Amino acid sequence: MSATGSVFGSLDYVLDRFSNTWSWRVTGHRAVDMVSGLVPEAWYGEKNDEAIIPDRPECVEKLRWMLERYPLEVRSKLAWTKSSSSPPLPEPPRLALSPTIPGEQFRGELLEFQKLGLDFLIKSNGNALLADEMGLGKTVQSLAYVATEKRAFPVLVVAPLVTLNNWQREIHRFLKKRSRNGRIMPGDHPSVTIIRTGRRRGLEKSDFYLVNYELLHKRREDIAAANIRTIICDEVHNLRSVRTQKYEALRYLASRPSVSRRLGLSGTPIYNRGAEIWSITDILKPGMLGSFEEFCEYFCYVNDRGRAVVLEKRREGLRRQLQDHIMLRRKKSDVLHELKEKVRYREVIDADTGYYNRELDRIWKRMEEEQRDAKTEFFRSASYQRAIQSERVAAGMAKVPHVIGFVRNIMEIEESVVVFCHHRAIHAMLRESLREFEPSSIIGGQSDAARQEGIDAFQRGDFKMMIAGLRAGSLGINLNRARYVVFAELDWSPAIHRQAEDRLHRIGQKGTVFAYYLIGNGTLDDRVADVLVDKGHEIDGILDDVGETYDDGERARLILAQIRDRMNERLGAAPAAPDARV
């Protein structure tokens, strides 16, 4: 607005439909007249009083000249600040890290790269995202940090329910007790309180409080009264949505005056889309990426489903922002030179499409009836979600006989195998059909003791097969005895699959890990696989600057050739060609 109150124009950062590039849009009759004479490269927008200017330094320079003389309303403030800064602000230097020895309260030894991680946490003043790939010891690095820093206790660890007992074991294993007068007690360990109920009551004094994300909002006042000094958020991608009770509760606790350190741990901090990283940084280092609106304005575009997706050309910039200010990420290939590679293979298998299509017809007819009878929007939405879930079950059931054949043949060729599935019905069918191998099992709803007993037995070699739920078996466990992982069902999130793979591909693994993704031909799997690749490219572009896909490997192809050969022999058909790939 000018001094006389007249509107001169406005400036927005937009995705131009004509050029399909991010550009500057000037609106307002007077502003368009002015810019058309200043910027020959400009073209008219969708309306008569709009002009589109390329986002190039020479064009931005002319726009800045305009803003210094005429009162344009800048609506994309963060994008304009980043594009028009002159001279460009120097990027802060990345932390120079050196191996650091943990404090005397720590029990055990750190690997060299873990000592660098400890130094990073110290130099970040405890407000950091440790995003090492899974299996590199993020838990032990965070424990070494609290054992080294002064006045770090009491510590709140917020983690998925299935990992709480593992946290308690690791605390007992790696930390010594410090008495109130500061004396180290080597034969004892810090006190640990696991919060297991949502019922409000005061907490006893303890060095560590462990709680799962789902209980956090119910006990937040009790936890706040404990004067927590350090918060560790394990699997911090659980905070990827700001519209959840756990996010609100953590934000409240992280802002308490007593809290001076906030650590986030996750090998997959971005679960589905790059914009999820904003809510995590908002907890660990508020304001680092601006408000969510400013973050989206500069880094993202909105897709046809209304979701913010980080622009491909902005992914490198976002990665640098994270690395410069908050995030340390090391890949296993960077620090564990003795660890063999991981090979992914996408294998299309047959599915009973007749059964699948009949089920789809039944599912969607039922949904149409429920939609017609629904009295509220809630019931309509619930009906739709049931239909989507039922379609996933149908896709899994349609390919189960062929999954069983694949797994049975790989068991004849190789040693220990882990099979991941998603639905209880599929889990039950796999266990029943593969009972000759006496498979161990991980599934949601198990007691902690039963779950750990199954894991320990598998790791000892008592069983050669593990059948695990994708969600229940992808966190907080070590299955590195096996080298073969088979995905009988697919999840929509690539992070889930990576977590599951890395139960095997971690410190202590002696061989190459082979991950087989079984795609049911003619089912929902075809669409899910495409979504996984699309999301995977965005995540890799932000975290690693690498485009991971399903990898080929000579060993993987030979194993598949043997499996096809055996299956064809049983069907009385000629063996398939070894190089018959998707």
Positive/negative CA dihedral, 552, 558, 559, 563 = positive
Q: Quick one: pLDDT at residue 553?
A: 45
What 422-427 contacts at long range (C-beta under 8 Å, 24+ apart), as own/partner pairs, is: 422/392, 422/396, 422/469, 422/470, 422/471, 422/489, 422/490, 422/491, 423/392, 423/393, 423/396, 423/489, 424/469, 425/393, 425/396, 425/397, 426/393, 426/396, 426/397, 426/400, 426/488, 426/489, 427/467, 427/469
DSSP 3-state helix, strand, coil percentages of the chain (rounded to 5)? Answer: 45, 15, 40
Q: Quick one: pLDDT at residue 118?
A: 95
Q: CB-side exposure of 369: number of CA atoms within 13 Å? A: 6
Contact between residue 280 and residue 237 where contact means Cβ atoms under 8 Å apart:
yes
What is the DSSP code (8-state) at residue 140?
Answer: H
CA distance 283 to 228: 15
Length of the chain: 582
Name the CATH superfamily for 112-335. Answer: Tandem AAA-ATPase domain (3.40.50.10810)
Q: Quick one: pLDDT at residue 54?
A: 86
What is the DSSP code (8-state) at residue 144?
Answer: H
Q: Which two tokens stand for residue 282?
A: 């908002």
Task: Kindly give the interhelix angle for 525-543 and 315-325, rounded to the nearest 10 degrees.
Answer: 50
Domains 112-335 and 342-571 share a fold: yes
Q: CB-side exposure of 412: number of CA atoms within 13 Å? A: 13
User: How much is the pTM?
Assistant: 0.63
Classify 342-571 by CATH class: alpha beta
The residue among 338, 347, 343 whose CA lies nearest residue 513 is 343
Q: CB-side exposure of 187: number of CA atoms within 13 Å? A: 0
CA distance 419 to 129: 31
**What is the mean pLDDT, run by run of 10 residues, along the chain of 582 residues?**
55 80 86 80 81 85 78 79 56 71 93 93 92 88 95 94 88 92 89 93 95 94 96 92 92 94 90 84 88 83 76 83 89 76 80 86 85 81 80 86 86 82 90 89 81 86 88 73 87 79 82 85 76 63 54 48 53 40 30
Cβ neighbours for 152, distance < 8 A, ≥ 6 positions apart: 126, 145, 146, 229, 230, 261
CA distance 19 to 446: 55
Burial class (CB in 10 A: 0-12, 13-18, 19+), 225: exposed
87 preceded by cis ω (within 30°)? yes
154 preceded by cis ω (within 30°)? yes
Q: Quick one: pLDDT at residue 122?
A: 94
CA distance 558 to 178: 56
Domain spans, the chain: 10-84, 112-335, 342-571
